[in-house]
Amino acid sequence: MGELSGVAIGVTAERRAGEFIAALERHGADVRHAPTITIVPLDTDPELHSATLKLVMSPVDITVVTTGAGFRGWLDAAEGWGLRQQLIDHLRGSRIYARGPKAVGAVRGAGLRETFSAESESNAELFEAVASAGVLGQRTAVQLHGTPLPDLTAPLVEAGARLVEVQPYRWTSPPDVTPVYDLIDAAVAGELGALAFTSAPAAANLLTLARTSGRYEHLLTALRGPLVCACVGPVTAAPLEAAGVETLQPERQRLGALVKLLVTTLSGTGGEPESRS
C-alpha cells in the first residue's frame, strides 16, 4: 500500500506522461490520464521549418532560449532538414539568453555558450535581461515552447528588435476529446483528489474544452473547492490562476518535485516545501 492508495489523480500531460504516471502509481495513486493537447511533430512542422530557414539565411544577433527540451527538439528537427550545422553556426555568433539551467544545458550541449541565464528560471527575468541589453535593429531569434508569449515578445518589437519566433512543440486539441470530457466530469463529480499540470497549454486547453462543452462553470467550482490543482511551476499555473483557481507548486520546477508535492499534500505526511498562489 502506497501513500496515495485510494487517491485518484488526473494527469493532463502528453509529453513525459508515462514517466509521470509511473512515478505516481509507484506511490499507489489511481491515475486518470487524459492529454488535453497533442504536440505537432517537429520534423513535419512547416512553420518551424520556415522560421529555421529564415535564421540560416543571415546573421543572428540575439538568441533567446526558453526551454532546454524545445531547443534540443529544434536542433534535432534542423538536423533532419540538413540545417543543423548551419543553424548552430549562426547562433554561435549571437548573444544567447537562456531561461535557467535546463536551457543552459541544452545550449552548452550544442557546443554553444550563453551570455545570460535567468537565475529565477522565469520568462519575466529572461526577457527583461534581453530588453535591457538593447535590441534596436537586432535580429532576435526567440525559441518558444508550446505557446506564443506576446506580452513578452511585443515589447522587444516595440523597442526595435527584428523578431523571428521559433516555436517547437506547437500543439492542437487531441483528435479525440472524449477522455478530457470524462476527466472534467470526474473532477466535477468529486472523484479526483488532484489534477496535475506540467505545461501551460495543457492547463489552458482544459479550460477551453470545458468552456466549449458547457462544463466551464462547473469545472471552475470544482477547481476552487477541495480538489488540489498542482502545477510544476508558475508558468504552467498562469492560465488557472487567471481564472481564479489557486494552485500548489513545488519549490523546484521539476517533475520529481511535483510528484513529491502530490504525495505529501494528498497523504498528509508533510516535508516537501510548497507554494500556493
Which set of grid coordinates corresponds to residue 42?
Answer: 517537429
Residue 22: pLDDT above 50?
yes
**pLDDT given at position 272:** 40
In 3-state terms, what secondary structure has residue 203? Answer: helix
Which set of grid coordinates corresponds to residue 248?
Answer: 500548489
Residue 149: pLDDT above 90?
no
Q: Domains, the chain, ranges and CATH?
A: 8-37+173-276 (3.40.50.10090), 42-171 (3.40.50.10090)
Q: Higher model confidence: residue 193 or residue 271?
A: 193
Summarize pLDDT for 164-177 with one digit per residue, the tens: 999 887 788 999 99
For residue 97, CA distances in Å to 78, 228, 231, 249, 251 come to: 20, 35, 25, 25, 23
Rounded CA gap, 60 and 91, in Å? 6
235: confidence class by pLDDT, cuts 50, 70, 90: confident
Residue 50: pLDDT above 70?
yes
Q: Higher model confidence: residue 109 or residue 276?
A: 109
The answer to whether 127 and 152 have CB atoms below 8 angstroms apart is yes
Summarize pLDDT for 183-209 with one digit per residue, the tens: 999 999 999 999 999 988 899 999 999
Residue 271: pLDDT above 80?
no
Select the highest-mean-pLDDT range: 1-5, 41-45, 80-84: 80-84
Give the predicted TM-score (pTM) of the model: 0.67
**pLDDT given at position 1:** 57
**pLDDT given at position 146:** 67
Mean pLDDT of 46-57: 93
Rounded CA gap, 108 and 270, in Å? 37
Mean pLDDT of 147-175: 91
Mean pLDDT of 236-242: 93
Summarize pLDDT for 65-120 with one digit per residue, the tens: 999 989 999 999 999 999 999 999 999 999 999 999 999 999 999 999 999 999 99
Q: What percent of the chain has pLDDT over 70?
A: 95
Phi and psi torsions of 202, nearest 5°: -65, -40
**pLDDT given at position 273:** 39
- Across 78-87, 142-151, 216-225, 241-250, least confident range: 142-151
Task: Tell me the pLDDT of the chain averaged across its residues.
Answer: 92
Residue 277: pLDDT above 70?
no
Summarize pLDDT for 218-228 with one digit per residue, the tens: 999 999 988 99
**pLDDT given at position 274:** 46
User: Could you write out the three-class secondary structure of 227-256?
Assistant: CEEEECCHHHHHHHHHCCCCCEEECCCCHH
